[in-house]
């Protein structure tokens, strides 16, 4: 005799009237109203509304990704993420924005899109500083500023970062990878943002304008440092001698006067320098060129480079060094020398004759890494 199938009636939330096919789903849903999170991670003490969410979260710590795409081999920590990913291959976009008709593979991306692009809504708030964010993931990354948590560590040098994208960028220092190339001059960069900033050099675009003197700049970070000319702000202070600087790289270079560290070495002369631009200038010097000439078996014809080309090559070397090491890199142009360099030279730990008037020669010799 055929058994009758049990008829499961839908369970309804008494707060928002949303219906669920199972009581367990209703219980989990109600916790979104009450804020109850009974399942806690014993590694980072983060709490979750369901045991399954805790299991998936634990894989952040273990690195386990048991669900793999059979088309591109990309792996995921939970099955739902794999299902959403497969829609990319299939071209399936079930959810469309009613304001711009852009399509999305899952509803969470649609909601995020609407908040970021259209409504400006920022429903996620930091409990510490009350700063608000349009996405939950942005809030989670921000909170690490307060906690100091850096869960993503480099397996080569053990340097840790608060988010995975920063680790990916950092690892290119070790690999030498520069995947972003300029289609005008073929110069390559480790980060897409650095390429976009570089392209403005070709176009002459200066999007960032000082509200005090109307001077415009290519980079926002360049404007930030320029404003310190007006304010006199020197936010970077040495913890050994209390000397303050307008930018972080000058503080880094200054600290080497205390430690004696000289990380930039000439492979020909065995001389070391505190700052990369000192090494660059050394390589243009007669002493260095003579050393190369005498070490060669055949005669070498040496042509000296005029001061304009020296500046260009120093700027190029500094840009590579600063872009890789400091996201606040600023490319200081010759036209900015009169108003910016005077203050910056006063801060520079390697500049000695502070009484002489600043001129373009100082600019060429000046350490432009910021």
Instruction: Walk me through the domains of the chain, giving residue ranges and CATH numbers.
Output: 234-365 (3.30.160.60)
The C-alpha torsion from 354 through 358 and 362 to 366, rounded to 10°, is: 70
pLDDT of residue 231: 92
Distance (Å) of CA 122 to CA 114, 118, 133, 140: 11, 11, 5, 14
pLDDT of residue 186: 92
pLDDT of residue 343: 53
Q: What is the mean pLDDT of each run of 10 residues along the chain (370 residues)?
A: 50 87 85 86 86 87 88 88 86 86 84 86 89 87 89 88 87 90 92 88 90 89 89 90 87 89 86 86 84 58 41 44 36 42 50 46 39
Q: Nearest 5 degrees, angle CA 44-CA 123-CA 114?
A: 115
pLDDT of residue 338: 47
The C-alpha torsion from 217 through 218 and 221 to 226, rounded to 10°, is: -20
- Please list the residues that pair with 160 across neighbouring strands: 153
The pair of structure tokens assigned to 181 is 């190339």
pLDDT of residue 9: 66
The pair of structure tokens assigned to 350 is 């390697």
Distance (Å) of CA 260 to CA 170, 193, 254, 270, 333: 26, 34, 10, 16, 30
φ and ψ at 91, to 5 degrees?
Answer: 75, 20
């Amino acid at each position: 005799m055929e058994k009758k199938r049990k008829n499961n009636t839908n369970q309804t939330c008494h707060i928002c009237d949303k219906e669920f096919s199972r009581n367990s789903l209703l219980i989990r849903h109600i916790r979104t109203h009450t804020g109850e999170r009974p399942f806690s991670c014993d590694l980072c003490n983060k709490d979750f509304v369901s045991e399954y969410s805790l299991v998936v979260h634990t894989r952040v710590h273990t690195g386990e990704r048991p669900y793999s795409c059979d088309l591109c081999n990309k792996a995921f920590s939970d099955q739902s993420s794999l299902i959403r990913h497969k829609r990319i291959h299939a071209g399936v976009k079930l959810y469309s924005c009613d304001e711009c008709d852009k399509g999305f593979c899952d509803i969470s991306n649609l909601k995020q899109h609407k908040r970021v692009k259209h409504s400006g809504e920022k429903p996620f708030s930091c409990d510490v500083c009350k700063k608000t964010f349009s996405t939950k993931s942005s809030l989670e990354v921000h909170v690490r500023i307060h906690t100091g948590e850096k869960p993503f560590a480099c397996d080569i040098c053990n340097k840790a970062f608060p988010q995975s994208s920063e680790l990916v960028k950092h690892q290119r220092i070790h690999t030498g990878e520069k995947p972003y190339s300029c289609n005008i001059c073929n110069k390559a960069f480790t980060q897409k943002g650095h390429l976009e900033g570089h392209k403005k050099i070709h176009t002459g675009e200066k999007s960032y304008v000082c509200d005090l003197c109307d001077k415009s700049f290519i980079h926002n970070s360049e404007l930030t440092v320029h404003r310190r000319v007006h304010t006199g702000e020197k936010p970077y202070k040495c913890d050994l001698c209390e000397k303050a600087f307008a930018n972080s790289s000058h503080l880094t270079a200054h600290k080497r006067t205390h430690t004696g560290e000289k990380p930039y070495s000439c492979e020909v002369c065995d001389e070391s320098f505190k700052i990369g631009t000192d090494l660059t200038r050394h390589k243009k010097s007669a002493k260095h060129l003579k050393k190369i000439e005498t070490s060669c078996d055949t005669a070498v014809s040496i042509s000296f480079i005029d001061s304009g080309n020296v500046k260009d090559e120093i700027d190029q070397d500094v840009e590579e060094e600063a872009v890789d090491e400091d996201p606040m890199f600023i490319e200081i142009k010759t036209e900015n020398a009169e108003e910016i360099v005077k203050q910056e030279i006063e801060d520079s730990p390697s500049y000695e004759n502070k009484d002489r008037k600043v001129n373009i020669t100082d600019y060429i010799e000046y350490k432009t890494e910021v």
